[in-house]
Structure 1
Amino acid sequence: MLERHFRSLKVIDRIRAQWLGPQIERYVQSLDELHTGTATIQQNVRALGHFNEFVVGRGVQRLDQLPDHVDAFVSHWFAKHGKWCKSAQDRAAIASQSRLPVERMLCLALPGFTRPSHRPRMPFCVSAPGFFPFLLNEKGLRQATLHKYTYTLRPFESYLAQTGITLSALTPASITDFINTRAETLHKSGMLGTTGALRVFLAYLHREGIIANDLTRSLPRGRAYRQASIPRAISWPDVERLLASVDCRSDVGKRDYAILTLLASYGLRAREIAALCLDDIDWVHDQISIPMRKGGHSTRYPLSATVGEAIIAYLHVRRTDIADRQVFLAARSPYTPMRHTGVSCMVSGRMRSIGIQVARAGSHTLRHACVQHLVEADLPFKVIGDYVGHRHPASTLVYGKVAVHKLREMVIAQGEDVL
């Protein structure tokens, strides 16, 4: 198996001659079964070679002794390769270069060994351990909603730790101070989510007797006014420039171009792109189905020639040895289906790369651009709402504020025809 990823026979012999040589070769075989690229395998083997030298130098003679030396090896690796790190993200990346291959190899070499979880712990898991089970079991919230509570409560926990305030010593003043601090960085919608999550958390603390008084009234109840903002769309020339910037000669370029054409042509959401399956495309009748939309309904579109050609170009290079039926796969091993966050991040990154400036750039920006393009084509709002899958007509009416061509007609004294 090593011969598939290393050209030099001397290098292969040196790997096999190491004390951990059999375990390293077995690990390489597992990576190859996951279709891992050669460059990644070589990087992992290089780290495992250093781990072999490290444990041999420490006098380790049995495989079951290896887990006790993993943390020390990670610290040794970081001291050698992490001098350039400037942020926590940089430090985490360097640490994973050493920890990840070692722990994965030990999972294969030692029966019963499981990788310890390095994810950050849930907020308030010590002082209020029953809160997230309460959200899951009593309130019946989904995991995606629990993530939003984590996003809110983790900064709140950090704030309490920095100020030295315990939950039992919470006061309206301390809560107000935290809200004011978060308001410096969060959008209005983010502040509404923050106060809502805190209100549920404080009510739970009072119910469980962790705090003596009900502090939910100390949280302001913000309001989001309908039609108070305009959609964060980009102009259609910018959409065309975004599509033209994709290099379709590469496999990733073919995939991203197909995703971008779907977003711009049909105004799909990122979750709908990620959930799109091979069976949803009817090549015989030139149709594409979006089965589970946000409003609980489904939509069937005619498959345009541009979108169909883009999808076909990607399917020609899409891996055929993957059992998943989702159309779009990750670009790296183990080639799992793309998630909606990956779709949005891809769009955001490509917009930044060509200098498109828009607030909160992402996949939804192209959805707004699609609707705005239809509004400028003078299509009725009911037709537009049905086309993009809006459940309520009010969701479509917000785009009336970007119908600049109609407003211009009114300004130049042609408003009677417009109205």
Structure 2
Amino acid sequence: MDTRPDDPLIEAFLDAAWAERGLSANTLDAYRRDLRKLAAFLRQRSGGTAGLQAAGRDALLAFLAAQVQSGLSPRTVTRHLSGIRQFYRWLVRERRLDEDPSALIDSPRVGRGLPKALTEDQVERLLAAPDCDTPLGLRDRAMLELMYATGLRVSELVGLQQASMNLERGVVRVLGKGGKERLVPLGDEARSWMQRYLADSRPVLAGGAVPAEVFITARRAGMTRQSFWHRVKAHARTAGIGTSISPHGLRHSFATHLLNHGADLRVVQLLLGHSDLSTTQIYTHIAREGLKRLHQQHHPRG
């Protein structure tokens, strides 16, 4: 499409953006492409009579809608809108335009990305990574086992208090988001590792102190989210899965693996402490993908 009538205006904006904000060549090229596409759309829509400076809010909305209808993702359309907003703000600052037609346009809602879950083999390798002959290694193994067994959030895990644990009954009382309390079963494996940690490792780390937190550092203080994440990354590297882990990787894996093995979605919702079932449903997409891969690999007609 012919885009030349608005090119001088676009180039003036790009020169200003480079001089004032130091934008990269890639960003400037993206802005140029997006603005040329908009200019061509506006001229086609108006029969060749309207350019960028004549665009109103409705015309910009029509352009964005056309991008969505053409199959572009909300994230890409949001990028288009970002450049368009910068352009019209510049026109107003330069007094080439009285009002910014993009000012009252909301960005398209960008869907939440699917959480990254580990495979069951990766989980086993991660759990086996800490050196359990050391107090810190045994603590880390217990934390990883507990997180995978219960699906706790990192903040819930490091915030666990001694009074929250009931190993005899095999449950942990968790204070979640919004002060909501829930009881989560541990499972035999996690309970066994917790018993070992509390009997053999925690007294050494506490050194006579009586901290309220279940998981403590060598300084006799409770673990922080940052210190836990640092330890997880180190163990992930040892296990050879350094690029596959996220702070909530074991929580995501807990939910996904439960669904893969036939757990009811509402039960998983209760275990995760989600107030809204739609938050839990995001894991069904991952579970379905995993089941499809298993079917393709193992079914004779997969």
TM-score using structure 2 length: 0.60
Residue 224 of structure 1: how far off its partner (Å): 4.7
Contact 2:126 2:239 in 1 (8 A): yes
Residue 255 of structure 1: how far off its partner (Å): 0.4
Q: Name the counterpart of 1:270.
A: 154
Q: Name the counterpart of 1:315.
A: 198
Gaps of 5+ in 1: 1-170, 196-214, 415-419
Q: 1:324 aligns with which of 189, 211, 215?
A: 211
Q: Distance in 2 between matches of 1:393 and 1:177?
A: 42
Structure 1 residues 326 and 398: alpha-carbon distance in aligned structure 2, compared to 1, 3 A threshold: same
Residue 279 of structure 1: how far off its partner (Å): 0.5
Q: Name the counterpart of 1:400.
A: 284
Q: Does 1:243 align with 2:104?
A: no
Structure 1 residues 250 and 410: alpha-carbon distance in aligned structure 2, compared to 1, 3 A threshold: closer
Contact 2:150 2:186 in 1 (8 A): no
Structure 1 residues 222 and 255: alpha-carbon distance in aligned structure 2, compared to 1, 3 A threshold: farther
Q: Distance in 2 between matches of 1:350 and 1:218?
A: 48
Q: 1:294 aligns with which of 140, 152, 177?
A: 177
Matches within 5 A, 1:123-202: 174=20, 177=23
> Secondary structure of the residue that 2:285 maps to in structure 1?
helix
Question: Alignment length, in residue pairs?
Answer: 216
Taking only aligned residues, the RMSD between alpha carbons, in angstroms, comes to 4.0
Instruction: Kindly provide the amino acid, as one letter, of the partner of residue 240 in structure 1.
Output: E
Contact 1:295 1:389 in 2 (8 A): no
> Secondary structure of the residue that 1:276 maps to in structure 2?
coil
Q: Name the counterpart of 2:247.
A: 363
Contact 1:176 1:219 in 2 (8 A): no
Residue 301 of structure 1: how far off its partner (Å): 1.9
CA deviation map 1:192-217 (0-9, x unaligned): 9xx9xxxxxxxxxxxxxxxxxxx9x7
Residue 177 of structure 1: how far off its partner (Å): 3.9
> Secondary structure of the residue that 1:363 maps to in structure 2?
coil
Q: Distance in 2 between matches of 1:328 and 1:262?
A: 11
Q: Name the counterpart of 1:352.
A: 237
Q: Distance in 1 between matches of 2:237 and 2:108?
A: 32
Q: Name the counterpart of 1:74.
A: none
Structure 1 residues 223 and 271: alpha-carbon distance in aligned structure 2, compared to 1, 3 A threshold: farther
> Secondary structure of the residue that 1:254 maps to in structure 2?
helix
Contact 1:263 1:367 in 2 (8 A): yes
Matches within 5 A, 1:62-81: none
Q: 1:384 aligns with which of 228, 253, 268?
A: 268
Residue 244 of structure 1: how far off its partner (Å): 1.6
Structure 1 residues 409 and 245: alpha-carbon distance in aligned structure 2, compared to 1, 3 A threshold: closer
Structure 1 residues 379 and 303: alpha-carbon distance in aligned structure 2, compared to 1, 3 A threshold: closer
Q: Distance in 2 between matches of 1:176 and 1:385?
A: 47
Contact 2:149 2:186 in 1 (8 A): no
Contact 1:263 1:363 in 2 (8 A): no
Q: Distance in 2 between matches of 1:232 and 1:405?
A: 12
CA deviation map 1:332-370 (0-9, x unaligned): x3x2111112112211221122210445x3330111111
Instruction: Kindly provide the amino acid, as one letter, of the partner of residue 344 in structure 1.
Output: W
Q: Name the counterpart of 1:254.
A: 138
More displaced, 391-400 or 248-257? 391-400
Structure 1 residues 357 and 221: alpha-carbon distance in aligned structure 2, compared to 1, 3 A threshold: farther
Q: Distance in 1 between matches of 2:230 and 2:108?
A: 29
Structure 1 residues 246 and 409: alpha-carbon distance in aligned structure 2, compared to 1, 3 A threshold: closer
TM-score using structure 1 length: 0.44
Q: Does 1:305 align with 2:192?
A: no
Structure 1 residues 219 and 265: alpha-carbon distance in aligned structure 2, compared to 1, 3 A threshold: farther
Residue 298 of structure 1: how far off its partner (Å): 1.3
Instruction: Kindly provide the amino acid, as one letter, of the partner of residue 213 in structure 2.
Output: Q
Gaps of 5+ in 2: 1-16, 31-74, 83-99
Q: Does 1:232 align with 2:116?
A: yes
Higher relative contact order, structure no. (Cα contacts within 8 Å, ≥ 6 residues apart): 2
> Secondary structure of the residue that 2:248 maps to in structure 1?
helix
Structure 1 residues 323 and 173: alpha-carbon distance in aligned structure 2, compared to 1, 3 A threshold: farther
Q: Distance in 2 between matches of 1:253 and 1:220?
A: 52
Instruction: Kindly provide the amino acid, as one letter, of the partner of residue 217 in structure 2.
Output: A
Q: Name the counterpart of 2:65.
A: none
Contact 1:262 1:307 in 2 (8 A): yes
Residue 288 of structure 1: how far off its partner (Å): 1.2
Structure 1 residues 219 and 241: alpha-carbon distance in aligned structure 2, compared to 1, 3 A threshold: farther
Contact 1:270 1:340 in 2 (8 A): yes
Q: 2:221 aligns with which of 328, 336, 339?
A: 336
Instruction: Kindly provide the amino acid, as one letter, of the partner of residue 230 in structure 2.
Output: C
